Structure 1
Amino acid sequence: MPNDDQESWVRVKARLRTEVGDDVFSSWFGRMELEGIDEGGVRLSVPTRFLKSWIQSHYAEKVLTCWQADRSEVGRIELIVRSAVLKTTAQPKPKVEPALAMHGENRPHNGNGMSRPIPVGDAAVHEALGGSPLDARLTFDSFVVGRSNTLAQAAAKQVAAARRTDPVMFNPLYIHAGVGLGKTHLLQAITWAGNAGGERKVLYLTAEKFMYGFVAALRAQNAIAFKEALRGIGVLVIDDLQFLQGKSTQAEFCHTLNALIDAGRQVVIASDRPPSELESLDERVRSRLAGGLVVEMGGLGEELRLEILKARVQAARAHHPTFDVPLPVLGYIAKTVTHNGRDLEGALNRLLAHSKLTGQSVTMEMAEREVKDLIRPQEPKRVKIEDIQRIVARQYNVSRSDLLSSRRTANVVRPRQVAMYLAKTLTLRSLPEIGRRFGGRDHTTVLHAVRKIEGLVGNDVTLSEEIEILKRQLQE
């Protein structure tokens, strides 16, 4: 190959590195090689089909532009897989904004601008790394802030606004809350805002999509490229972590998590429970998750529910200008529909549909009729094992460490058995998990404690009253 071709390639790589940054260059272009230049075309090669597919989809125009800056006569880039026989030409295509490029909006094209078929395994990997679908409504502007979510919203905005050179303040950011309280809204808001800035690539994946991509990569023999792609992301956002299943997938998630955090990349995770209660995850993963900033988003208070309803009505008027809900009706819904934000959205949708289809104005009578099935009995407070240990220890004048210790004196054994009994009756935790949380005890020890207290409660009035008092304290 002529020396001047190699010199051009060195200059092109330097220009490409400057434009995309060191991290992106290393992830996608570090193993790209120049094969030759002829008749106005440049032939480049990469070692895997996945790299070829990703570069064609996201960086074909940028690579071509860098070559044209050095050699104006270059009109096309031909990208091949070094071990493959088939070759596909990547032609210039319309410029893609960074936010779209990261969300699967663009597929690899051939020279005629038509979609190019990709082998099934590669397509699945490519789809996973394109990210999970985003809802354009879920932005920081549409997120209503209240007492229960102030810290989570502030932390999320800090992550979204951070620049590549800024030190990572908390990593990972772990947000947990019940269903419909705004976790996904915040995670997607981070993704929209982060990608709009264009300096750090933000990839939003559900745990299901992560599993799908990893399994597809294994089947397509692209697992290494899949891992490298994930570890090249500036901000990785994982939603619904509680659904992450499978030992190999969890192991890969753990390696990816460690690699990103150690490299100073931001990780944001959401789940329906704190790290310590993710029983299916390896202890090392739970420990790493707990080492960042763990934020709980509490239930929606009545005042916050009313503000959410007002905001949703205002948003609905953008498409339905005549839609109006009197303030007393909004107050009624905020007071009675208490379960989560999705029920509030459902209540408003029903009023909107009824109003539009019948032409009637929204009234209190209509609201009472339309939302009656959304008025649910107040759910009992979710009891945590840590709370049980703390309150039982206080009741019996022992320390929490005593309950977890191997001591078998009478003043410790009975409180420990009561605490295990309450953990079994007031939580959904399994016997092995309860045993682990009580100093690593075997599940048979927990079962013995539960049966012991069950046998005593029917005959010991004092113990029965003590347990009822403890239950009331835990439910308050």
Structure 2
Amino acid sequence: MFQRVRARLRAQVGEDIFNSWFARLELEEIVDGKAHLSVPTRFLCSWIQSNYADKILEVFKSENSEIGRLHLTVRVNGQPVKKIEKAAEIAVEPEADPAPQAKPQRDIAAPRGDALAGSALDPKMTFDNFLPGASNEIALGIARQVASAALNGTVSFNPVYIHSTVGLGKSHLLNAIAWAAGAAEPGRNIVYLTADHFMYHFITAVQRQSAIALKDWLRRVDLLLIDDMQFLQGKSATEFGHTLGTLLTGAKQVVVAGDAPPRDLEMLDERVRSRLSGGLVVPITGFDMDLRRAIVVRRAEQAQARFGVHFPPAVIDYISRIVVSHGRDLDGAVNRLVAANQLTNEPVSVALAERTLADLVRAREARRVRIEDILRIVSRHYKVPRNELLSSRRSRDVVRPRQIAMYLAKSLTSRSLPEIGRRFGGRDHTTVLHSVRKVEQMMKDDADLTQEIELLKRMLEE
């Protein structure tokens, strides 16, 4: 039922709003007409209560008329906090006044010392549990170096900005840095904050007229880790810019993670983007076959130890081959097969995997890159208007993105050179061929351009 509720919410509010506020909403149970839901942060809990409680309840009622109330809790380390402390919960009762907000329950393993409570760290996200591969080895090496420097009270690269699409390990690395730098030790001034948690702190400080205290708190931090930077917006983004400048001036270490390079974070002030770009920008590219297989092997071993479910090598190879999006989907594929085995007692086999994971195969096959998609992504990435890409302008800031767009059209679509030329403002097929060969040569000579084009490909294939 909850999947239908999520589908209805997605249809009503749109993809962007759903991904921002509801993607991490989970149903824990339904008891006595009350739906118990959970979210990972206090900020999401407060925001959903204030803005979407009635809408969520309405959707639940449309699926089950007996549901008349909602109850929202904050998850700590993946588990909903229940009956531990009243302050850790927010009740969503549309017919009653909302409960007063209080300080969120702090995880016992959260960073201690002079800093206030940040977002909860996941004890499973350490360097020991991070699987290295060609796509993430540079990011892993930098993360280890930053953690080692912070542990010794020095500063390594600053700021460090790690970016990738979802599910490739950014949050894992930030958590691992915090743990390795001594987050569990008294006196260590280490704070890990998701962007929505940062926004919650800022909004609360403004409401309580304690913004100066917030600034003082952040500026006393020795290691600040900000996750999901793309969700930072409004005055919170401005405040982060001021804080970033102060931390860098004071030689404090800052590590930030986001889903796009700094130059594409349009919600941030140009000076903040420049500061982030001027540090060490580290991309994590899509997982190759070897890394995907290593992840599946690790998850399969855990499934066998916990549930006694055996994954034959052929099934591991099958999952590694068809699930190419990100690590979370690999985890989900293994979990689905474990569930199928537990429910049907059918041994895990390729045939069972084909039936259970059919939607992942269809989703992969259904994705067809269109030239229109390429024009949109390239235009946004290089901040060149679409009509300029199709025009006859010959300035360098237009020619290079246009050539890259033509190269992507030849690489990712089945269109012929004449067809591509017609779609790019009526150009001759020889012009398209020249552009493709030009980009191929530039990629051989420029590793940064190769990574940039790989990023564009991942954006188009998602």
Match of 1:146? 133
Alignment of 1:460-475 (within 5 A): 460-462=427-429, 465=432, 469=436
Alignment of 1:169-318 (within 5 A): 169-194=156-181, 195-198=183-186, 200-246=188-234, 248-318=235-305
Q: CA deviation at 1:160?
A: 2.4
TM-score (norm 2): 0.59
Match of 2:312? 326
SS of residue in 2 equivalent to 1:196: coil
**Residue pair 2:378, 2:401 contacting (<8 A) in 1 also:** no
Deviations 1:360-384 (A, max 9, x none): 2211111111112113147869876
Farther-moved stretch of structure 1 (310-319 vs 418-427): 418-427
Match of 2:6? none
Change in CA separation of 1:115 and 1:338 when aligned onto 2, cut-off 3 Å: closer
Match of 1:413? 394
Q: Which of residues 340, 348, 352 in structure 1 aligns to 2:334?
A: 348
Q: Report the Cα distance in structure 2 between the residues aligned to 1:456 and 1:290, rounded to whole angstroms.
A: 32
Change in CA separation of 1:216 and 1:264 when aligned onto 2, cut-off 3 Å: same
Match of 1:373? 359
Q: CA deviation at 1:249?
A: 1.5
Query: What fraction of aligned residue pairs are identical, expressed as a percent?
Result: 40
Change in CA separation of 1:265 and 1:282 when aligned onto 2, cut-off 3 Å: same
Change in CA separation of 1:282 and 1:467 when aligned onto 2, cut-off 3 Å: farther
Return the letter of the residue paired with 1:146: G
**Residue pair 1:388, 1:423 contacting (<8 A) in 2 also:** no
Change in CA separation of 1:340 and 1:471 when aligned onto 2, cut-off 3 Å: farther
Change in CA separation of 1:249 and 1:467 when aligned onto 2, cut-off 3 Å: farther
Q: Does 1:123 align with 2:103?
A: yes
List runs of 5+ in structure 2 lacking aligned partners. Answer: 1-75, 90-98, 108-114, 409-420, 441-452, 458-462
Q: CA deviation at 1:189?
A: 1.8
Return the letter of the residue paired with 1:281: L
**Residue pair 1:125, 1:216 contacting (<8 A) in 2 also:** no
Deviations 1:171-203 (A, max 9, x none): 111100111111111112222333135553321
SS of residue in 2 equivalent to 1:413: coil
SS of residue in 2 equivalent to 1:141: helix
SS of residue in 1 equivalent to 2:138: helix
Deviations 1:19-69 (A, max 9, x none): xxxxxxxxxxxxxxxxxxxxxxxxxxxxxxxxxxxxxxxxxxxxxxxxxxx
Change in CA separation of 1:468 and 1:420 when aligned onto 2, cut-off 3 Å: closer
Deviations 1:436-466 (A, max 9, x none): xxxxxxxxxxxxxxxxx989833x5357645
SS of residue in 1 equivalent to 2:340: helix
**Residue pair 1:129, 1:213 contacting (<8 A) in 2 also:** no
Q: Report the Cα distance in structure 2 between the residues aligned to 1:132 and 1:145, rounded to whole angstroms.
A: 25
Deviations 1:98-118 (A, max 9, x none): xx9xxxx9xxx9xxxx9899x
SS of residue in 2 equivalent to 1:237: strand
Change in CA separation of 1:388 and 1:130 when aligned onto 2, cut-off 3 Å: closer
**Residue pair 2:87, 2:103 contacting (<8 A) in 1 also:** no
Q: Report the Cα distance in structure 2 between the residues aligned to 1:358 and 1:293, rounded to whole angstroms.
A: 50
Q: CA deviation at 1:218?
A: 0.4
Return the letter of the residue paired with 2:269: D
Q: Report the Cα distance in structure 1 between the residues aligned to 2:405 and 2:283, rounded to whole angstroms.
A: 24
Q: CA deviation at 1:226?
A: 1.2
Q: Report the Cα distance in structure 2 between the residues aligned to 1:379 and 1:261, rounded to whole angstroms.
A: 44
Q: Report the Cα distance in structure 1 between the residues aligned to 2:157 and 2:100, rounded to whole angstroms.
A: 38
Q: Report the Cα distance in structure 1 between the residues aligned to 2:380 and 2:180, rounded to whole angstroms.
A: 36
Q: Report the Cα distance in structure 2 between the residues aligned to 1:177 and 1:262, rounded to whole angstroms.
A: 27
Q: CA deviation at 1:332?
A: 1.0
**Residue pair 1:121, 1:217 contacting (<8 A) in 2 also:** no
**Residue pair 2:161, 2:279 contacting (<8 A) in 1 also:** yes
Return the letter of the residue paired with 1:332: Y
Q: What value does the CA root-mean-square deviation take over the aligned residues?
A: 4.1
**Residue pair 1:175, 1:271 contacting (<8 A) in 2 also:** yes
Q: Report the Cα distance in structure 1 between the residues aligned to 2:88 and 2:422, rounded to whole angstroms.
A: 66
TM-score (norm 1): 0.58
Change in CA separation of 1:318 and 1:229 when aligned onto 2, cut-off 3 Å: farther
Change in CA separation of 1:372 and 1:238 when aligned onto 2, cut-off 3 Å: same
Q: Report the Cα distance in structure 1 between the residues aligned to 2:260 and 2:87, rounded to whole angstroms.
A: 42
**Residue pair 2:406, 2:436 contacting (<8 A) in 1 also:** no
Match of 1:9? none
Q: Which of residues 324, 337, 343 in structure 2 aligns to 1:357?
A: 343
Q: How many residues align?
A: 318
**Residue pair 2:162, 2:282 contacting (<8 A) in 1 also:** yes
Change in CA separation of 1:455 and 1:234 when aligned onto 2, cut-off 3 Å: closer
**Which has the higher Rg, Structure 1 or Structure 2?**
1
SS of residue in 1 equivalent to 2:254: strand
**Residue pair 1:176, 1:273 contacting (<8 A) in 2 also:** yes
